[in-house]
Structure 1
Amino acid sequence: MAENLKECQVACKATLEQLETVCREEGVICKDLGINKYNLCDFEVEYLCNYKKVVVSNGKTPGRTPEVQEFYLVKWKGYPESMSTWEPRKNLKCVDLLTQFWEDVHKELKRQKKRSIPKKLDSAISSHLVQKAKHRQILRQWEVHLNSLGTHKGRISVCNEVDSEGPPKNFTYINDYKVGEGITLTEVAVGCECTDCLDNPVDGCCAGASQHRFAYNDSGQVRIRPGMPIYECNKRCRCGPDCPNRVVQRGIQYSLCIFRTDNGRGWGVRTMERIRKNTFVMEYVGEIITTEEAERRGHIYDREGATYLFDLDYVDDEYTVDAAHYGNISHFVNHSCDPNLQVYNVFINNLDERLPRIAFFATRTIKTGEELTFDYKMQIDPVDAESTKMDSNFSLTGLPGSPKRECV
């Protein structure tokens, strides 16, 4: 029995941050936690709470002016607020936190129509700064969570400098469809035999097998017109993950930011890097439900003033995607009458034409920092029998009860 105990392992219930705090309190050096004799006495600043100027020398010596030092009230990471301490500026190495602190101070003073910085911030300003810092922590935790779910190249950041709104309640971030009750996705049974799907497609590759054109050029840009379906290579295809006919399935490739709009439209999404025309940006992901269930939910959403229903009506109006409570970053994309995103129907591992994947491609070059938008009621050329349209009730308004988002 003693031999068996040698292999027994018990998971530690403390987090790494908690263990690091204990080590510093007890003066214990730990190589695994990165604590050595040189940084043992270093403590991490969580946020700055207050500021004051203190006269440390009265300047009574003839010809000597009083010496004034700046002090900051520091909330230490891993310690309660009751253990916050006043520290001189020279002890602080948190340049980014200091910059953010003063940005918040200047904004609040401007809001209060005060021109000069006081020797000590009053309690109202200090309380405001603490709330802003705590709010950023909540958003940062949400940001970490969102990025922990993705396996794609692009990174998601979160920013709210407008109000105190935090992560949406009753919303779960997902990267793939959540299939509703009574719905079955039929997996593809065959794949292509191509060794070079773009330059030497066998029988037209996956698109040709479905009697359609190859959708992408050698740069991964869509080259077919809206309304035409995209058939990507699937998990049964001979080609590898670098195949040029695998674009949407690679996921988001650009760094994007979920941000709070300053004109009452709730959350929005902007790109943190330049996006080329005709390149894939994101999918519209949510729950796949029947049209009947969508009708029932639609009546509820109408009363709440918000709906995220997207009809999958490529051939038959049988199914709908609902991104109200389950969705990805597309949940936060706003409407525009002049959008920079276009919808395409995409088929990969499921060839059921009633259940296409909904992919957004850039209609033009999108600049860094520009908001991403699509037309909630966009219509594809009705001359084409293969068309994609938005639910006529689709008006993505952020949280239930938010005002309707107008064109941007």
Structure 2
Amino acid sequence: MAENLKACRVPCKLTWDQLQTQCRQEKVSCKVLGVSKNNINDYEVEYLCDYKKMKEVEFYLVKWKDYPESANTWEPRKNLKCFKLLRQFQQDLEAELRRRKKRRSAKRLDTGVVSYLVQRAKQRQQLQRWEDHLNATRNHKGRILVRNDVDLDGPPRDFTYINNYKAGEGIVLTEVAVGCDCADCLASPVDGCCAGASLHRFAYNDRGQVKLRAGLPIYECNSRCRCGADCPNRVVQRGIQYDMCIFKTHNGRGWGVRTLEHIRKNCFVMEYVGEIITTEEAERRGHIYDRQGATYLFDLDYVEDVYTVDAAHYGNISHFVNHSCNPNLQVYNVFIDNLDERLPRIAFFSTRPISAGEELTFDYKMQIDPVDAESTKMDSNFSRAGLPGSPKKRIRVECKCGVESCRKYLF
């Protein structure tokens, strides 16, 4: 019986750090965990809570990792090797003192400042855990950073990061049954390649930039196609390629998104994903969202108004992109593995070069110029389903985009 158990393995319920902490608490050395007699008394600083100065010696109140707050201790500056935490503590302290228009005390901090510093440290931990979760969940190349230098809000509640559409109750996403036979879709398309569905208008140039007018559909190669993953007609399906930052805006617009890399004109930036629901369900949810003062409903009305994408509780980074009356993102309808024209994928492409650090925006009421018959099919009707009743009953939402051409109201 014992021989049969030699190959058995069970996962440990403690993390590596927790096992190290357990060893130090029990004063046990462990070569595998890297706990030796030389470092058995070393503990990790989780964050700094307070500061005081006694007889020209600086002390910091330390919250130790994996220990309760009741175990916090005052430590002299010379004992601390957490240089990043020390620098962050000083920055938070100086910022709060400026906000309160107070001078720094030579010996002690007042209780209000100390309370803020602890809340700020805990918030930073929450945001870091959320950032780690987002990056563990994403299936795209672009990394996600999270920053809030405005207030003490933590991660949004009741929001799940997803990478693709989530079909709502009673909705089925069918996959395409055929694909192209091209060896080189850009140079030698066979029978018009997949772009043949769009009157043989290939959507991209050789650098992956969209060259179709806004309003025209994009048909990319799909899972049934002969071409490989590096096909130039596979752009949106490769996902987000740029590192981005979810950040708290300073003017009351909630969270926003900025790019951390330069983006060329006409390049794919991100998709708008969420839960696909019927317009009837969208109408019901819209009444609820209106009372909450926010909505994330995007009508899929390329050919008929049947379905809506709701990104309120399920979505990707596009959930946090704000409106602008002069946006740098343009909406395109894209078809890949699903050719149901009632269920296009919503892709955002850059309308101009976007600098690193610039906020990404799109127009919630973007209208497409009718340059030809087909382009009149698509408008960007973001959150229209959330506006109940006739136009007279619609709730007017103030626009805070701040551009010179601002229309003053979102809806």
Shift, 1:405, TM fit: 4.5
Name the structure 2 match of 1:159.
Answer: 147
Shift, 1:109, TM fit: 1.3
Shift, 1:193, TM fit: 1.6
**Aligned partner of residue 270 in structure 1, secondary structure:** strand
In structure 2, what is the Cα distance between the partners aligned to 1:38 and 1:204? 70
**Aligned partner of residue 254 in structure 1, secondary structure:** coil
1:8-407 counterparts in 2 under 5 A?
8-30=8-30, 32-35=32-35, 39-55=39-55, 68-384=56-372, 385-386=374-375, 387-391=377-381, 393-394=383-384, 404-407=398-401
Shift, 1:35, TM fit: 4.0
Shift, 1:27, TM fit: 4.1
**Aligned partner of residue 196 in structure 1, secondary structure:** coil
Shift, 1:368, TM fit: 1.3
**Aligned partner of residue 193 in structure 2, secondary structure:** helix
Supply the AA of the counterpart residue of 1:219.
Answer: R
Shift, 1:406, TM fit: 2.7
Shift, 1:370, TM fit: 0.9
Q: Percent identity?
A: 72
Shift, 1:393, TM fit: 4.4
Shift, 1:165, TM fit: 1.5
In structure 2, what is the Cα distance between the partners aligned to 1:26 and 1:90? 26
Shift, 1:214, TM fit: 1.2
In structure 2, what is the Cα distance between the partners aligned to 1:110 and 1:375? 36
Moved more, 161-170 or 143-152: 161-170
In structure 1, what is the Cα distance between the partners aligned to 2:367 and 2:6? 67
In structure 1, what is the Cα distance between the partners aligned to 2:172 and 2:104? 65
Contact preservation (8 Å) 2:198, 2:217: no
Cα 1:219–1:324 shift into 2, 3 Å: same
Cα 1:39–1:228 shift into 2, 3 Å: farther
Shift, 1:246, TM fit: 1.2
Shift, 1:14, TM fit: 1.6
In structure 2, what is the Cα distance between the partners aligned to 1:75 and 1:336? 43
Cα 1:36–1:278 shift into 2, 3 Å: farther
Name the structure 2 match of 1:6.
Answer: 6
In structure 2, what is the Cα distance between the partners aligned to 1:389 and 1:34? 60
Supply the AA of the counterpart residue of 1:162.
Answer: V
Cα 1:109–1:406 shift into 2, 3 Å: closer
Unpaired runs of at least 5, structure 2: 387-394, 403-411
Shift, 1:334, TM fit: 0.6
Shift, 1:138, TM fit: 0.8
In structure 2, what is the Cα distance between the partners aligned to 1:18 and 1:157? 26
Shift, 1:31, TM fit: 5.0
Supply the AA of the counterpart residue of 1:16.
Answer: W
In structure 1, what is the Cα distance between the partners aligned to 2:34 and 2:179? 49
**Aligned partner of residue 176 in structure 2, secondary structure:** coil
Shift, 1:373, TM fit: 0.5
In structure 2, what is the Cα distance between the partners aligned to 1:36 and 1:232? 58
Cα 1:23–1:375 shift into 2, 3 Å: same
**Aligned partner of residue 119 in structure 2, secondary structure:** helix
In structure 2, what is the Cα distance between the partners aligned to 1:331 and 1:165? 17
Supply the AA of the counterpart residue of 1:137.
Answer: Q
Aligned length: 391
Contact preservation (8 Å) 1:378, 1:390: yes
Cα 1:104–1:350 shift into 2, 3 Å: same
Shift, 1:124, TM fit: 2.2
Contact preservation (8 Å) 1:395, 1:404: no
In structure 2, what is the Cα distance between the partners aligned to 1:34 and 1:348? 50
Supply the AA of the counterpart residue of 1:349.
Answer: D
Supply the AA of the counterpart residue of 1:388.
Answer: M
In structure 2, what is the Cα distance between the partners aligned to 1:36 and 1:211? 71
Moved more, 18-27 or 96-105: 18-27
Shift, 1:299, TM fit: 2.3
Moved more, 376-385 or 356-365: 376-385
In structure 1, what is the Cα distance between the partners aligned to 2:133 and 2:114? 29
Supply the AA of the counterpart residue of 1:245.
Answer: N
Cα 1:16–1:215 shift into 2, 3 Å: same
Name the structure 2 match of 1:60.
Answer: none
Cα 1:152–1:261 shift into 2, 3 Å: same
Shift, 1:80, TM fit: 1.4
Supply the AA of the counterpart residue of 2:400.
Answer: E
| Alignment deviations for residues 326-348 of structure 1 (CA, whole Å, 9 cap, x no partner) | 11111111110000000011111
Moved more, 335-344 or 26-35: 26-35
Moved more, 374-383 or 16-25: 16-25
In structure 2, what is the Cα distance between the partners aligned to 1:318 and 1:288? 10
Supply the AA of the counterpart residue of 1:390.
Answer: S
| Alignment deviations for residues 95-123 of structure 1 (CA, whole Å, 9 cap, x no partner) | 22111111111112112222334322222
In structure 2, what is the Cα distance between the partners aligned to 1:107 and 1:292? 48
Over the aligned positions, Cα root-mean-square deviation in angstroms equals 2.1
| Alignment deviations for residues 193-230 of structure 1 (CA, whole Å, 9 cap, x no partner) | 22222222222221125423111112111111111111
Shift, 1:404, TM fit: 4.9
**Aligned partner of residue 192 in structure 2, secondary structure:** helix
